Structure 1
Amino acid sequence: MTYALPPLNALRAFEAAARHLSFKLAAHELHVTPAAIGQQVKALEARLGVRLFERLHKQLILTPAGQAYLPGISDGFRRIADATSQLKPAGAVLLQLGLHGGVDLRRLELAGFRSAHAEIGLRVLQPAGLHELIEGKVDLLIERSLGHHPGYRCDRIDEGSGLGDWLIGPEGTADCPEVVSLRDWLRTRAVKTTQANHRRPRLVGTVQS
């Protein structure tokens, strides 16, 4: 059977914009520009032959057609996600972790995590960034950022404020047991590294006359 489907990117743009009732917030979630969201939605409306949104001054409203279309599209994405989550080898939960290029793998001690959590099949992709997270190539991402990504949970895993290393993943999977286990492990490693740095003796230089 051949399915008559609109382009997937256009459907994602519509679904995100409909949930947020905002092209701007949808753009933040999908990491594109508001103009790109608007173009995708416009192309989808042309493809379907119906208007999905009323674009008022500083306000976005679903038309009756958009309201009728949204539940089925959202449910379709959930079904795809559920079906994908079932594709796991027996006895292991696969978890794909992306790392930005500057992460020192030795500091994360991931071999220790694998030993302590044999039920989790952890795979690492480095380098990886937000693009890989959005495209579903990784489930979680350690990214050097300020930790503000609407639609994603961002947990800082190093000490300090401002720019730092954050564990970023979709809000919908943030409390899955395997994600919680990895998050706790990374935080413990960060504390361990900080304590080791504080215990390290400082070298005091000598001045010769």
Structure 2
Amino acid sequence: MKLPPLIAVRFFEATARHRSVREAARELHVTPGAVSQQVRRLEDFLGCALFDRLPRGLALTPAGMDYQAACGEALARIGHATARLAAGARRVVRVSCTPDFAAQWLVPRLQHFLQHAPELDVHVNSTHRAVDLLAEDMHFAVRHGLGPYPGLHAEWLLDDDLVPVCSPRLVAPRPWAQLADITGPRLLHDGTRDDWRLWCQAQGLARVDSGQGVVFAGAGGAVEAALAGQGFALVQRASVARELATQALVGLQAPAVKTPLGYRLVYRPEALIDPALRRFRDWVVDEGAQAGGISAG
């Protein structure tokens, strides 16, 4: 079996994924000229063109599309095997998500998972930035939005149905909140005022000025303020399941507002070749299902 030069395969795979010599060079920390040279070296080795060089960029030929799929899977296998050997018996799983999602949903559930998977280490990278999974050596990311996510496999994890919650102290002596308790000054906003505006419209609360209330940079600040009895936070129910169960927070007895937004687990298609990564994926998707987050989408 005659194998191609591995460095040329690596350079081709990055160029094919980005459809850009310049972006591939940036990822690989080399010059664009070096990338072009290695791609042409591979094409000479194979005896066929992998790209059509167009005035506005690159397009994969049919042969290039087939070869990209094979190279991506092969490089992933090599990477996973290398990581296992380098890490010894323990396998590292890297997942990226926002700080709020990490603190409110993922991390509280991880301890139970790790008790049953002692051979795994889960490293959580909390950031608001959409990471490049391959370039930044990240196995999974949880993304919030409508999608799609080109080049990645995306699985629905949680719905984003929003419910108002507050401290029981705010509505005492009643053990629950009701629509009459909602007022403009009591609104705790997450980033913008749009969520509360849409929720009030859906509930027919024309009397409530959704332009009032305090705005926080993230959902975590709004939840902390709600726990302190400062007002109502509008949150995804699964993110405050513990607080609702212990009655540190109480929810409003009103229909949740359905939205097309949701949380999705995204990863490169070849990631699940690795049994450790598949085990984490199976667990986190199951956790989403148990939280009531799986929908027909």
> TM-score by structure 1 length?
0.58
Letter in 2 for 1:157: L
Correspondence 1:129-140 to 2 at 5 A: 129-140=129-140
Matched, 1:185 2:283: yes
- Runs of 4 or more consecutive aligned structure 1 residues displaced over 6 Å after TM superposition: 56-59, 69-76
**Structure 1 Cα separation of the partners of residues 134 and 70 of structure 2:** 22
CA RMSD of aligned residues (A): 4.3
**Structure 1 Cα separation of the partners of residues 112 and 98 of structure 2:** 20
The CA deviation string for residues 100-144 of structure 1, in whole angstroms up to 9 with x for no partner, is: 233143423111111121122212111264325232332111122
The count of corresponding residues between Structure 1 and Structure 2 is: 170
The CA deviation string for residues 22-44 of structure 1, in whole angstroms up to 9 with x for no partner, is: xxxx34xxxxxx5xx15568743
The CA deviation string for residues 151-174 of structure 1, in whole angstroms up to 9 with x for no partner, is: 322111102663221111111122
Q: Which residue of 1 aligns with 2:122?
A: 122
> Which consecutive unaligned segments of at least 5 residues does structure 1 have?
17-25, 28-33, 196-209
The verdict on how the C-alpha distance between 1:128 and 1:120 changes in structure 2, with shifts beyond 3 A counting, is: farther
Of all paired residues, the percent bearing the same amino acid is 17
Q: Which residue of 1 aligns with 2:94?
A: 96
Give the number of the structure with larger relative contact order, counting CA–CA contacts within 8 Å between residues 6 or more apart. 2
The verdict on how the C-alpha distance between 1:55 and 1:103 changes in structure 2, with shifts beyond 3 A counting, is: same
> Which consecutive unaligned segments of at least 5 residues does structure 2 have?
1-6, 25-31, 161-258
The CA deviation string for residues 163-186 of structure 1, in whole angstroms up to 9 with x for no partner, is: 221111111122533333323332
The structure whose Rg is larger is 2
SS of the counterpart of 1:121?
strand
**Structure 2 Cα separation of the partners of residues 79 and 185 of structure 1:** 22
Q: Is the 8 A contact 1:141 1:168 kept in 2?
A: yes
Cα distance, 1:85 vs structure 2:
3.9
**Structure 1 Cα separation of the partners of residues 61 and 74 of structure 2:** 22
> TM-score by structure 2 length?
0.43
**Structure 2 Cα separation of the partners of residues 153 and 71 of structure 1:** 14
